[in-house]
């Protein structure tokens, strides 16, 4: 399915998936993930938590969210992200992820970072295939090679340093500047020429080359386990100061990764899809894990006993309290293909080809949380596995139709073997929102909206002057509620940006002028 959807994304922007294009996708996927960590996870998280904690009413400003997660797939408020990371992974942990080429079934890079107290404190570039080594630009080579072994900033030194604005503004633009040099000091890298050699090493127990582990095992869960043993050994060799921390490794294929980077444009859908990705077998009956963790954090097992609706909405409320249309972390110059894909997804709506949502529209958050995926298990699945609140009569009409075939008495939704259905079922109570309704969006900045957004609410907020950047979002949200006729609504006072927020946006505006338009 990932191959089909990934191929469709490429086709939709007018390109044909060739080996050359696939290699470019591999590079851009690598760059975008890695710079999410180094630019956003390292520097911006540290700025928000330690250097300039925002005023309470400025917490929802878009620039105060960060890709502080493992993998860095969803935006989160950094103080919350740090707490979530400690709950999931512990106080001290090394987090690695490996990417696999679907065509060759070979690992082509293994990168990651170390976290202390839930915050990314050290990048670690462990291995890259020869094709990537040859593709890296000057900026990549400085960061990915780091400063060698033992010369980088210590954990204590790192927290004493002020956030580097060159990194935050210009990181991942393909050019070498002061920010690039700073990033190099934050990374344990690999000398050029040795990056690909490490993938030729052999697994100590099986004798299989590290790059070939996916050829000998079934899915991402197995790949993560085999790769984790290698990364743990390499950590003991190169980073012995972290040997007592838990070592986690995840695995994913290129097409799944590029789908995640672009289809997971909105944070609520990210949470929904992460749930399905972790529990593919349990939720839809496919005996294949498309995203694997090892070791698997035990707390995740609590989630499988909740409905997708409960999980999606509660995690969204915890992580941000808002719907975030998430930014791409690299410049258009550095990764033009990623920008084309992201723009296309924004214009047409994420994952719309897999649902009945009209082209050019977005489902509101609650509508996303209540989607029901295709079912592959022969016995079908009970509707309670997906929905918290019972379906309305209108929704039951959709569910009992010939296209879905649900049994109202038992709550069973049949498998595709009984009723062929490859699209997600959408609750008709949630009206899709045309993308053109939103203010103009900079793909490198994103937007933030209330979780209870509807088409009417978005229209009112935009008409009242809301920019999408988070300033006074609660004022505009409650004002819209009041105009929609909701009772007992208190509209918070409109507050101008603080001096620090203004000055910070002026700096960001040098790269993203949209910040200057709304000062």
Name the phi and psi angles at 178, rounded to 5: -60, -35
pLDDT (0 to 100) of residue 151: 55
The two three-digit tokens of residue 131, written as one number: 């094709």
Read off the pLDDT of residues 5-54 as tens digits, 9 standing for 90 and up: 666 778 888 888 888 998 999 999 999 888 888 778 888 888 998 889 99
Strand partners, 76: 66
Confidence of residue 141 (pLDDT cuts 50, 70, 90): confident
Is 442 part of a structural domain of the chain? no
Average pLDDT over residues 314-335: 92
Backbone angles phi, psi at 431, to 5 degrees: -70, 125
Q: What is the mean pLDDT of residues 251-255?
A: 87
Q: Which of 196, 218, 253 is the last residue of a domain?
A: 253
In a domain, residue 110? The reply is: yes
C-alpha distances (whole Å) from 408 to each of 122, 200, 298, 404, 405 are 53, 55, 34, 12, 9
Domain assignment present for residue 155? The answer is: yes
The structure tokens 């099986």 sit at 206
Do 160 and 117 form a contact (C-beta atoms < 8 A)? no
> Per-residue pLDDT averaged across 407-430, rounded?
95
Q: State yes or no: pLDDT of 154 exceeds 70.
A: no
pLDDT of 28 reads 92
User: What domain count does the chain have?
Assistant: 2
Does any domain span residue 436? no
Name the maximum alpha-carbon separation found in the chain.
Answer: 68
Q: Which residues contact 393 (CB under 8 A, 6 or more apart)?
A: none
Q: For residues 410 and 203, give the distance between their C-alpha atoms in angstroms, rounded to a whole number.
A: 49
Q: Do the domain assignments include residue 476? A: yes
Domain contains 385 = no
Q: Is residue 363 part of a domain?
A: no
Instruction: Tell whether the model's pLDDT for residue 111 goes beyond 50.
Output: yes
% of the chain exceeding 90 in pLDDT: 56
Residue 201 lies in a domain: yes
Do residues 357 and 432 touch, judged by C-beta distance below 8 A?
Answer: yes
pLDDT at 453 over 80: yes
pLDDT of residue 150: 45
Q: Which residues pair with 100 in a beta bridge?
A: 107, 253
Domain boundary among 218, 253, 288: 253
Q: In this model, does residue 152 exceed pLDDT 60?
A: no
Domain that holds residue 482: 454-518
Last residue of a domain, one of 213, 231, 253: 253
- Determine how β-strand 187-188 pairs with β-strand 119-128: parallel
């Amino acid at each position: 399915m990932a191959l089909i959807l990934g191929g469709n994304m490429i086709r939709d922007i007018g390109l044909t998936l060739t080996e050359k294009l696939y290699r470019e996708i591999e590079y851009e996927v690598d760059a975008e993930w890695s710079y999410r960590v180094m630019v956003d996870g390292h520097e911006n998280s540290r700025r928000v938590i330690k250097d300039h904690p925002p005023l309470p009413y400025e917490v929802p400003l878009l620039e105060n969210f960060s890709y502080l997660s493992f993998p860095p797939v969803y935006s989160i408020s950094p103080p919350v992200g740090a707490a979530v990371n400690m709950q999931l992974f512990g106080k001290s942990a090394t987090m690695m992820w490996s990417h696999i080429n679907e065509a060759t079934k070979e690992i082509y890079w293994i990168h990651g970072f170390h976290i202390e107290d839930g915050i990314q404190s050290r990048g670690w570039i462990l291995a890259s295939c020869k094709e990537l080594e040859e593709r890296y630009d000057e900026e990549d080579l400085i960061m990915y090679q780091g400063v060698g072994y033992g010369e980088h900033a210590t954990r204590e030194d790192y927290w004493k340093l002020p956030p580097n604005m060159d990194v935050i503004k210009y990181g991942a633009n393909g050019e070498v500047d002061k920010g690039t040099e700073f990033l190099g000091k934050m990374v344990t890298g690999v000398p050029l020429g040795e990056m690909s050699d490490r993938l030729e090493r052999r697994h100590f127990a099986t004798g299989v080359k590290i790059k070939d582990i996916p050829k000998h095992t079934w899915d991402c869960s197995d790949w993560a386990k085999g790769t984790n043993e290698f990364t743990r050994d390499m950590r003991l060799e190169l980073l012995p100061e972290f040997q007592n921390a838990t070592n986690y490794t995840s695995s994913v294929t290129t097409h799944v990764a590029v789908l995640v980077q672009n289809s997971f444009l909105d944070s609520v859908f990210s949470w929904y899809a992460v749930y399905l990705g972790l529990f593919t077998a349990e939720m839809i009956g496919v005996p294949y894990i498309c995203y694997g963790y090892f070791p698997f954090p035990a707390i995740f097992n609590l989630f499988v006993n909740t409905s997708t609706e409960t999980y999606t909405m509660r995690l969204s409320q915890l992580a941000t309290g808002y719907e975030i249309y998430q930014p791409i972390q690299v410049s258009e110059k550095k990764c033009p293909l990623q920008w084309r894909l992201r723009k296309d997804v924004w214009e047409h709506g994420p994952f719309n080809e897999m649902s009945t949502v009209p082209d050019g529209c977005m489902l509101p958050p609650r509508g996303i949380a209540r989607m029901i995926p295709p079912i592959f298990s022969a016995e079908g699945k009970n509707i309670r596995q997906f929905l918290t609140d019972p379906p309305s009569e209108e929704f039951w009409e959709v569910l009992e139709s010939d296209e879905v075939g649900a049994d109202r008495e038992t709550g069973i939704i049949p498998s595709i073997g009984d009723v062929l259905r490859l699209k997600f079922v959408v609750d008709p109570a949630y009206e899709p929102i045309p993308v053109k309704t939103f203010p103009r969006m900079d793909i490198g900045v994103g937007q933030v909206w209330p979780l209870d957004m509807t088409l009417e609410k978005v229209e009112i907020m935009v008409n009242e002057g809301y920019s999408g950047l988070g300033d006074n979002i609660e004022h505009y949200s409650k004002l819209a509620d009041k105009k929609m006729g909701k009772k007992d609504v208190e509209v918070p006072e409109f507050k101008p940006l603080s001096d620090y927020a203004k000055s910070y946006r002026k700096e960001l505006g040098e790269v993203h002028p949209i910040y200057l338009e709304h000062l």
